[in-house]
Structure 1
Amino acid sequence: MAERPQKHSFLWEKMCGLFFVLVTCTVGASAFRLQQVKSTENCPDHTVFFKHYYELHGEPVVLKCPSPRYKHSDFSALTPNITWYKNGSKTMMSGRDEDPRIWAEGDTLWFLPAMLEDSGVYICTRRNSSYCTEVSIHLTVLEKTAAREIAYLQVLFTFTSGKIVCPDLWDFTPNRTSLELKWYKDALPLEGSDDKYVILKGSSSLIMTSVLPADSGYYTCKMSFPFEGATYEITRTIHLETVEQEKIITPIIVYPTQKTTSAALGSKMTLPCKVFVGLSSHVNTDVEWLANDTTVDVVYKRSRVTEGERQEIVENGENFIEVPLIFDPVKEEDFYTDFTCLAQNTYGYQVLPTRVKQEAVGLSWYITVIPVALACVIAAGICIHKCWKWKADKGYTIAKFKTCLILQPPTEQKTILAIFHARHRETLQTRYAAFPADG
């Protein structure tokens, strides 16, 4: 009986200590989150970059903080003060000295090499003394066996000469005349001495002297990238489609390539529709966006979602038309809208449906919510325990006291009260006076 207060005291001290640790951690986490939220609020513009990077596991990757040329996303006036972090972590990407595998350098984020777990959304922040803007860039890292699933689409015309280009190499080649590529078709090496193919040293192109329908298929270019004592391999896979001359007047939509595009709720986003028109004139082809099979300006009468300016582009001697769809900002209703890019001329048309899906929300807010909830549960448990203990002890003392008086003869009450008085001096001090012993 004498040990019960000591046990409760020990339990109380342990629970108080645990509560203090949880409160300390919670305050620290809350302060960290508040600081980050404040930093985010200082950036009024958040844009989702339309290009989704698909890369292969074990290969070097470079993400570039974009400067979109569209009027809603003009970053050209900002000073080059750029920071990087991965969405959900709020941890700023460090320099090469701190992390030799993933490091930031100006407007580029390097992965040497990229791993499967690097997939996610990366945010670059451009900031000067008076303005700040953020751009989200999606990166997906796949196994090498999935190379054909992320192949670059290129088109050549039959019965004429043409070339295919190994794309996205310039970040790894400061000297653009020093390229050394190896080319493969359907996993078989292509010899540069073959009359069919011409591989120019220092060039990123594979020239075909005469393009035939049978030349359609998958081509792979490989390049070695030495860096600080290590050598990495860069692989690009091209899906070549051959088109007959009489069909070149029909437009071909080459972007977007995916059926869905991720976007954060409340962010700005630009989604371009890029159309290949071959040797045809740009003027003869119309490109437009539809929302639920209706023109965008009819569905979005307040111009929150609009078509951007039409751009006519020439790449490698081939003609393209690009029309962006601009969200300013993205709202929940957009996730339930069917968007369609329509390209047509007098000889044919092509449509490409796409959807906008909500970007996965990071779990960083759990860092604050879970400790707070746990601390509240423990605090409530302690209060309930102490209240129950107080009531139980009070009831136990009175019950035992009264039972002793009832069961014992009157002549022995004085002896019993003396024993209780010794053990529970403070508790029974007032009650003893109410039961005087008989002569």
Structure 2
Amino acid sequence: MLTLCLWMAGVSAFPVQPEAHTAATGSCQDLGKHFKTILRVEGEPVILRCPQERYWPGTAASSRGTVTWHRSGSAGPTPREDGRVWVQDGALWILPVQQGDSGTYLCTIRNASYCDQMTMDLKVLENTEASLPAVSYPQVLTAAASGFLVCPELSEFIKNKTDMKIQWYKDSVRLDPGSGRFVSVRGTTRLLIQDVSEEDAGRYRCVLAFAHGGTQYNITRNIQLRVRKKQEETVPVILSPHQTISASLGSRLTVPCKVFLGGGSQATTLLWWMANATSIEAAYPAGRVREGPRL
């Protein structure tokens, strides 16, 4: 018996760490401006880290030297007398942030033999519905499967915390964190959505309570969820041959094969014949039966 078998298969750039050089001359290597603008809404806490830190895995800026912050247009260091802005462990804290804090900030790291500096932009928006598109984080889940939403960019506020509680909302309606299809994973920044449907698409909001100096703050992140359809795999269908084929003994026989592969082009398609569960080459080593070319 001849059997027909078919199988079908359908950097981020970062700056290089600068070479060390002598800082005694007073010069400081300028690493330029960080590519990402930090977008926040007024009234919430903001913690800025030196952008060059991200290129030193496991190393804080404060451990490499003295860290100073300046805001563009300011002659002196950034910390202010009102106590709302200060430097802690090399990071710039602004509690709470105001629209007037928008601007370009320069972080300088200096020690006896090395100095570098890098700027970053902070843009503070009014806390209104109109600002939501600008401050929303796009995330994608697949329909008919379970997936996680992640409340982003909270690492500075949850260090060494195991009891954090995040409240989740969809279209301003608070989600029940422990029942139904929505489950807030305890001790993490994730929301599990079970059996995702297209109706789950839309705007979500996660809120983390943060206390500092006796004052309670809310840290809010907005997420725009897009649900993509589950990609269905096309199953190849053998259209012919299906019937028994009669042939005269000693005659020449050609058996055409017709297969439906679905719409569109396929990246890879493998097709082969078998005789009594054995490959044609093995069953007929002399070549009396062989596969023809594909059309």
The TM-score normalised by the length of structure 2 is 0.64
Q: Match of 2:212, as an amino acid?
A: F
Query: Is 1:86 aligned to residue 74 of structure 2?
Result: no
Higher RCO, Cα 8 Å, sep 6+ = 2
Following TM superposition, by how much is the alpha carbon of 1:148 offset from its aligned partner in structure 2, in angstroms?
A: 3.2
| Aligned-residue offset at 1:115 | 0.2
Aligned-pair identity (%): 37
Of residues 114, 118, 127, the one that matches 1:144 is 127
Distance 1:179 1:237 in 2: 18
How far off is 1:47 after superposition?
2.0
Rounded Cα–Cα distance in structure 2 between residues aligned with 1:210 and 1:109: 41
Residue number in structure 1 paired with 2:280: none
Question: How far apart, in 2, do the equivalents of 1:177 and 1:110 lie?
Answer: 22
Partner SS state of residue 107, structure 2:
strand
Aligned match of 1:105: 88
Say whether the 8 Å CA contact 2:136–2:224 is kept in structure 1: yes
Higher helix share: 1
Offset of residue 185 of structure 1: 0.5
Q: Does 1:236 align with 2:221?
A: yes
Counterpart in 2 of 1:49? Answer: 34
Match of 1:61 among 39, 46, 62: 46
Q: Which has the larger radius of gyration?
A: 1
**Which of the residues 135, 141, 146 maps onto 1:161?**
146
Aligned length, in residue pairs = 208
**Aligned CA distance change for structure 1 residues 239 and 135 (closer, same or farther; 3 Å):** same
- Partner residue in 2 for 1:205: 190
Corresponding position of 2:114: 131
Aligned to 2:174: 189
CA distance in 2, matches of 1:135, 1:222: 31
1:191-240 deviation digits (Å, cap 9, x = unpaired): 12431101123221110111111111110011111111111111100111
In structure 2, relative to structure 1, the CA distance for the partners of 1:117 and 1:245 (3 Å cut) is same
In 1: Cα distance, 2:151 partner to 2:27 partner = 40
Give 1:69 deviation, angstroms.
5.8
Shift of the 40–75 alpha-carbon distance from structure 1 to 2, 3 Å rule, reads: farther
Over 3 Å counting, the alpha-carbon distance change for 1:51 and 1:176 in structure 2 is farther
Higher strand share: 2
C-alpha contact (below 8 Å) 1:170/1:176 kept by paired residues: no
* 2:121 counterpart letter in structure 1: H
Structure 1 residue 245: Cα displacement: 2.7
What CA deviation, in whole Å up to 9, does each residue of 1:110-152 have, x standing for no partner? Answer: 0110000000000000111122111101100001111332101
Indicate the SS of the match to 1:92.
coil
CA distances 1:88-114 after superposition (whole Å, capped 9, x unpaired) = 11311238xx44201112321001100
Runs of 4+ in 1 over 4 A off after TM superposition: 68-71, 74-78
Structure 1 residues 133, 171: closer, same or farther in 2, change over 3 A? same
Match of 2:279 in 1: none
- Whether the 8 Å CA contact 1:78–1:126 is kept in 2: the answer is no
Q: SS of 2:163's equivalent?
A: coil
Residue 86 of structure 1: how far off its partner (Å): 0.2
TM-score normalised to structure 1 length: 0.44
Q: C-alpha deviations, 1:306-341, integer Å up to 9, x for none?
A: xxxxxxxxxxxxxxxxxxxxxxxxxxxxxxxxxxxx
